[in-house]
Amino acid sequence: MRARTRVALPTAMTAIMAIAGCASGGPQLSIGGNLQTGETGETGAAGVTLPNTIAHQPYSLGGWVMCLDRPGAVRIEKAELIHPDGDIRLAAFSSRLQSADHPMLGNANEPLTSLGFPAQSPAVTRTCSRPGEDPGQGWPRTELGLQYTKDSDATARAEGIRLIYISAGERRTVDFFLSVELCAPNDVTTPNCKEMYEKLNASR
């Protein structure tokens, strides 16, 4: 059995969300809150740099809230990388409701299905918390899980993900500008990778 690897997400930036599709009709999907802080919607912090990553290894990330602007349900049909650079791929995506059995993922070097996420993402049905609402009102929240990989050891990155979803029979998209960088082993030339490399070596 492989040991689970968890590290703190080292690089933070403001998450920017862009939505395409008619606002009338069915509910609109929001993404980007952080389960650790309890924030929902587009206020989450995102930006991940993982050091010493290699080809064909799963790198799973989680902890971001998905919710709806009104009651209803949406089904995520597809997920695509935004501005990929290098051999990075989004191998899988899924979602799950938070529970005592499923704490916030963070990140792990395992497939999402080994971490309690279903093989097929279920419909999102939870509504977003409103300002001034009881923090417990929105529980259990829906966590988005993303599984990255790359086809070579070289450093690769993507600027975000685009979710294509169906709401009331309409196809819509939401862009989540989550910057993910998978650093090559001992990469000391790419700025973020160099910073992580130096931090890791300083802690030894």
Could you report the per-residue pLDDT of 26-70, keeping only the tens digit for each? 999 998 654 444 444 443 347 899 999 999 999 999 988 899 989
Could you report the per-residue pLDDT of 123-176, keeping only the tens digit for each? 999 988 766 665 555 567 899 999 999 999 999 999 999 999 999 999 999 999
Q: Is the pLDDT of residue 181 over 90?
A: yes
CA 73 from chain center: how many Å?
20
Amino acid identity for residue 135 in this structure: P
Number of H helices, E strands in the chain: 1, 14
* Global pTM value: 0.81
195 three-state secondary structure: helix
Are 161 and 146 in contact, with CB atoms under 8 Å apart?
yes
